Amino acid sequence: QQQVKQSPQSLIVQKGGISIINCAYENTAFDYFPWYQQFPGKGPALLIAIRPDVSEKKEGRFTISFNKSAKQFSLHIMDSQPGDSATYFCAASIGGGADGLTFGKGTHLIIQP
């Protein structure tokens, strides 16, 4: 049972464009929704996270939009740069991840110069 569904699987965006990655979850007990960025050969690193009491969180060029009623959340990367090329994972958890994170399958993002 896949509790967090992520799309698209891969994404190509031109430099300066907006990259959008979507996730949907099933478990309404989830209360923490992070996005992780992973470069080849490295471990994932936290990019930005949101809790369900807000509908949007912005950090620099990265924004999470959260729709609690639809059980969906998305990552927007504004002014995408070649250095943003990486794999992005959405995740969800209960209690801040105390018993681990449930990850989506990932999105391989390529920013073309």
Residues that bind another protein (CB under 8 A): 6, 9, 32, 34, 36, 41-46, 49, 89, 93, 95-106
CB of 99 to another protein, least distance (A): 6
**How many CB atoms are located within 10 Å of the residue 84 CB?**
19
Contact in structure between 66 and 33 (CB atoms under 8 Å): yes
Q: Which is nearer to another protein, 65 or 87 (CB)?
A: 87
Q: Which is nearer to another protein, 44 or 62 (CB)?
A: 44
